Amino acid sequence: MDTVTTPAGPRRIALIHALRDSVEPILGAFARGWPQAQTFNLLDDSLSAAVAAEGRLTTAIVDRFLELGRYAAAAQVGGRGTDAILFTCSAFGPAIEAVQSEQRILVLKPNEAAFAAALERGRRVGLLVTFGPSLEPLTAELRDMAARRGDTCDVRALRVDGALLALQSGRPGEHDAAIAAAAAAMSDCDVLVLGQFSMARARAAMDPAMQARVLTTPECAVERLRQQFGAGIAT
């Protein structure tokens, strides 16, 4: 993978969220995997409510993503601009693609790195989500990526009902246990992707054998960005 040449100093990564529950997992992944990076957050949690209400991505929702992308790309601190944008919201693929087509800096989808890593591990890929509108677009995104790579991919996708509500209602243990139980039922998969940033915490609730086959989107995204920008600080 080629590295990106940018001015000296820590890389500045904009994190754009449509769920409050995505913020802590990605900040934790940066702290563990690439602490040298400087991150800043843009949150609009009405976006997830909008797509759930509409049942699809409307032009208005896409326009809001474009505005967020423009704001993030233009943000500067001490004369240093934004090096990359990472979206943490999984149900908005076409809207993120619109931002990618408009911006000259790197714009990364939330599941892009995890899906690429999953396809390296095996043909049978399990995909778990807790936000209903994410299920179909993420399944399609994974299959499309496999087709572009010339891979054969057998995707088994499942929504874990009630888990997100439990997390947002202050019952994280219930959230984690539900996802762990769903993962255990996918033991025949070569690799399992937890398809939302908010789900990453549930990996710790799984048995060690399953943990070894689970990919979380925050960790994969941070590793992809760290590799993309080399050591993280230009000299």
CA pair distance 74, 80, nearest whole angstrom: 10
What is the chain's pLDDT, residue by residue, as a tens digit (235 residues)? 444 444 567 899 999 999 899 999 999 999 999 999 999 999 999 998 998 899 889 999 999 999 999 999 999 887 889 999 999 998 899 999 999 999 999 999 999 999 999 999 999 999 999 999 899 999 999 999 999 999 889 999 999 999 999 999 999 999 999 999 999 999 899 999 999 999 999 999 999 999 999 999 999 999 999 999 975 443 2
pLDDT at position 7, please?
A: 53
Question: What is each CA distance from 175 to 15, 86, 106, 198, 219, in whole angstroms?
Answer: 24, 25, 33, 10, 19
Look-up of token digits 């940018």: 6
Beta strands 233-234 and 9-10, pairing class: antiparallel
Q: Quickly list DSSP for 92-156.
A: -HHHHHHHHHH-SSEEE-SSHHHHHHHHHH-SEEEEEESSGGGHHHHHHHHHHHHHHHT---EEE
**What kind of fold does domain 112-216 have according to CATH?**
Rossmann fold (3.40.50)
Residue 28, H or E segment: helix 23-33
Q: Does the 9-110+220-234 domain belong in CATH 3.40.50.1860?
A: yes
pLDDT value for 91: 84
Domains 9-110+220-234 and 112-216 share a fold: yes
Token look-up 């931002």 returns 99
33: three-class secondary structure by DSSP: helix
Which pLDDT does position 131 carry in this prediction? Answer: 92
Helix (H) or strand (E) holding 25: helix 23-33
Can you give the pLDDT at residue 152? 86
Strands 38-43 and 106-108: unpaired
> What are the domain boundaries of the chain?
9-110+220-234, 112-216
List the helix and strand counts (H, then E) for the chain: 10, 10
